[in-house]
Structure 1
Amino acid sequence: MQVVAIFALLTTLVTLTMCDNPDFKANIMKCMEETKISRDELKAFYANGSKSADAKDNIKCYMKCMMEKMGHLKNGVFDDASAARSLKNWPQLKDHQAEVDEAIQDCKKEKGANDCETAFKITMCLKEHKAALQS
């Protein structure tokens, strides 16, 4: 089941090649530039399973940047309504909204020492939901 995987994909470099939205592609590039992260660093992080222990600050801040640009993180607070609205537009999630809503509600409570850490914790929480749904 790919329920929350789509949310995780929103913050990956893979989306750059899969998404036809030029604004989204521009946001990816802006966030990469702002956080001084390279394509290779992102690919390596995701190729290694996106483990929390492997995440450097620039990866965490890249996630924050993307979440802010998508309207899912505002002033360090996860906007669950905005995330839910975005995800409802994904055809792959049409029949899985209850699972997506549950994951969003659970993960919105995550809080880190700073906004980058908060964005990262939310993303990792959603990743855990995805893993639980697939098992």
Structure 2
Amino acid sequence: MRTTLALTLLLGCLTATFVRATDVETAEKMVKKCVTDLGVTEQDLADLKSGKVKPADAKDSLKCTAQCVMVASGYMDGSGKLLKDKIKKQYADHPQIDAIKNALEVCGGLKGANACDTAFQIVYCVQTHGHSFQ
């Protein structure tokens, strides 16, 4: 449970920005499944959060967890392409649509070495710059 909570916090900006409140339970189940399936540990999360491990050195399992969540959410396809139009359409009436559009503009074009790295870079960008999107 603590691992799920920690990953939810790590992916917090993404979740807070892109997941509606009514979908919180579904999002938590999705994150838990991805964490379990990919073997992410509490230590992996703690090391990243504390700065002991730099984002560029994050384990592939952590990066692929970001992709797993994004794909399961329907925000990214399996090849690592962010589905910006789908996100904008889904949240067209959301009170924070401007913040969502800003996040997509700033972070949505990032490309990594593979689909997992791309998802991780996007999530990390949103988390790092989230305050400036408001």
> Structure 1-normalised TM-score?
0.67
Q: In the alignment, what sits opposite 2:99?
A: 99
| Residue equivalent to 1:69 | 72
| Alpha-carbon RMSD | 3.2
- The aligned counterpart of 2:50 is 48
* Structure with higher RCO (Cα < 8 A, 6+ apart): 1
**Deviations, residues 87-133 of structure 1 (Å, cap 9, x unaligned):** 5676xxx2x42232022122111111111100011112212322545
Distance 2:54 2:93 in 1: 28
Matched residue type, 1:36: G
Secondary structure of 2:103's partner? helix
Confirm or deny that 1:35 pairs with 2:42: no
| Percent of aligned positions that are identical | 27
The reply on whether 1:127 has 2:127 as its aligned counterpart is yes
Gap runs ≥5 in structure 2: 1-11, 18-22
The aligned runs of 1:108-127 (5 Å cut-off) are 108-127=108-127
1:81 to 72, 78, 85: 85
- Counterpart CA distance in 2 for 1:45 and 1:86 is 34
Tell me whether 1:7 sits opposite 2:14 in the alignment. yes
- Opposite residue 32 of structure 1, the aligned amino acid is V
Cα pair 1:8 1:123 within 8 Å, conserved: no
Aligned mates of 1:9, 1:121 — CA distance in 2:
17
> Aligned pair in 2 of structure 1 residues 41, 87: CA closer, same or farther (>3 Å)?
farther
TM-score of the two chains, using structure 2 as the length reference: 0.67
- Give how far 1:79 is off: 0.9
Figure out how many residues of one structure are paired with residues of the other and give that number: 118
Uncovered stretches (5+) of structure 1, i.e. residues with no partner? 11-18
